[in-house]
Amino acid sequence: MLLGVISWPWVMLNSADIELPEIGDSAGALVSPQQEYQIGQAFFWRIQQSVDLISDPELTSYIQSLGYRLVASSDAPHLPFTFFMVPDSSVNAFAAPGGFIGMNSGLILTSQTEDEVASVLAHEIAHITQRHLLRSFEKSQQLNLATKVGLIAALLLGAADPAAGSAALMAVQAGGVQAQLNFTRAHESEADNLGMLTLVRSGFDAQAMPAFFERLQKTSRFYSGNKVPEFLRTHPVTTSRIANARGRAVRYPLQRQLGDSLHFYLMREKLRVMAAPNLTELTQYYEDAVKTGKGLNDVATQYGYSLALSAGGNYTSARKVLQTLIDQDGDRLSYQLALADIEIAVGRLSAALQIYQFNQKLYPDDQALTMNQVAALLLANLPKQATQLLLRQLDLGSPSAQLYKLLAQAKGKMGEKSQSHGWLAEYYYSAGRLEQAADQLRLAAGFAKGDEYQLSKINSRLREVETTLAQLEES
């Protein structure tokens, strides 16, 4: 399904909104920080309406923790960022104003080390902190705001879906403006430079950036026409760019990896199993790799083999392979979560709950662990316990669409219909489905009669949603 290219929700800004203080550069005269975030949020909404983002709690937690680690060492650690993964086999990553960074699953599957993934994220973070997308429009003051924002939308769409991006450009391009959509060479160089600095500060290997670029360039020789990887279209990799990156990298000593490199390999294999077009072939690949030792990481290969067997319904063999890993490293959470999945699949829900409860002592409040535990608690019809864990995640500042949906389910099982509809409204809102959010809030208000405090909160939130809807309709 292609992304929509008509009536972009952020084209609701008026000229009065633009006359706000600049932030460090003249791009601030184009879009204020608040509007910049609205642009990115609207794009994030549109993406979610067009494709089911990867929502596996463990994978989501991994990519977010990696991203936040880099942001903490960037030149703007105070900015808000949202990291997400798109289920797409092509090698690509893209950044939207407001700190929204998307990455295709194909990029992780192509990367050979965590440092390479981190180098791409660091590059995208630099594009955002330096406001490159907005600065690209500094010389287009003759265009009205709606056209400028439409062009920004088109570029973002092109990064996520080339076909949709082309359609969007046809709808908004004005003589000669399309060329302004590409990041300039100066912007790419600046993103490489600052990205590498962020990479090093975060404890990663600076050589990972040129190494990844070089491998992409070599791979691109086998492509022609429109088959060239999208990352190379939006971030052209030239010989001189690779040489410059290598020149910068040699200035930094090899960093000692601060993170858990094995975790990257485990998550990569989990993603590989989830994205497998042919599970039987993948399972056979793992079986052969385990026997011959030809996998990039032997432990991760065994882990992937166990997941593939489990996905194929061969739980006995999956447990056997997984148990060998647990015997070597019993406290590793990924193994424990995989074991709990097997227990649930074979109908041993109580055993799975025991696994989750035990690991909460080792990894208290871990986001992936908690989300999996909550799903199991709801299966066991224990909504009160599930609610407590979910509200704890909210207190820790870890909201998500999945969390809102689980809260709605838990409150529904508890018979608290008003709160159930209220949390479902937040789920719809987080995905940009504002009309459904408003409908759920009206239902919540109906069930809140007699509770003036709850009704006041619901009506206040409903007014906010209806105001946003009205602005969208006006645009």
Half-sphere exposure of 31 toward its Cβ, with a 13 Å CA cutoff? 28
Q: Report which of 97, 88, 81 is spatially closest to residue 151, judged by C-alpha positions.
A: 97
| Active site (annotated) includes residue 329 | no
How many C-beta neighbours within 10 Å does residue 28 have? 18
Q: Report which of 282, 234, 211, 222 is spatially closest to residue 103, judged by C-alpha positions.
A: 234
Q: Which residue has the tokens 């052209």?
A: 236
Q: Report which of 304, 82, 154, 123 is spatially closest to residue 216, judged by C-alpha positions.
A: 123
Q: Please pick, among 36, 116, 124, 426, the residue that the annotation labels catalytic.
A: 124
Do strands 100-104 and 82-86 pair parallel, antiparallel, or not at all (unpaired)? Answer: parallel
Long-range CB contact pairs, 448-457, < 8 A, 24+: 448/418, 451/418, 454/418, 454/419
Query: Which token pair is 284?
Result: 């056979």
Rounded-to-integer distance, Cα 434 and Cα 98, Å: 20
Rounded-to-integer distance, Cα 335 and Cα 318, Å: 11
Query: What kind and span of H or E run contains 95?
Result: strand 93-96
| Active site (annotated) includes residue 473 | no
Q: Please pick, among 192, 230, 341, 426, the residue that the annotation labels catalytic.
A: 192
Cα 76 to chain centroid, rounded: 19
Rounded-to-integer distance, Cα 58 and Cα 463, Å: 35
Q: Burial-class residue 253 by CB neighbours within 10 Å (0-12, 13-18, 19+).
A: exposed
* Ordered DSSP codes for 41-110: HHHHHHHHHHS-----HHHHHHHHHHHHHHHHTSS-TTS--EEEEE--SS--EEEETTTEEEEEHHHHHH
* Ordered DSSP codes for 295-333: SSSHHHHHHHHHHHHHHTT-HHHHHHHHHHHHHH-TT-H
Enzyme catalytic residues? 124, 192
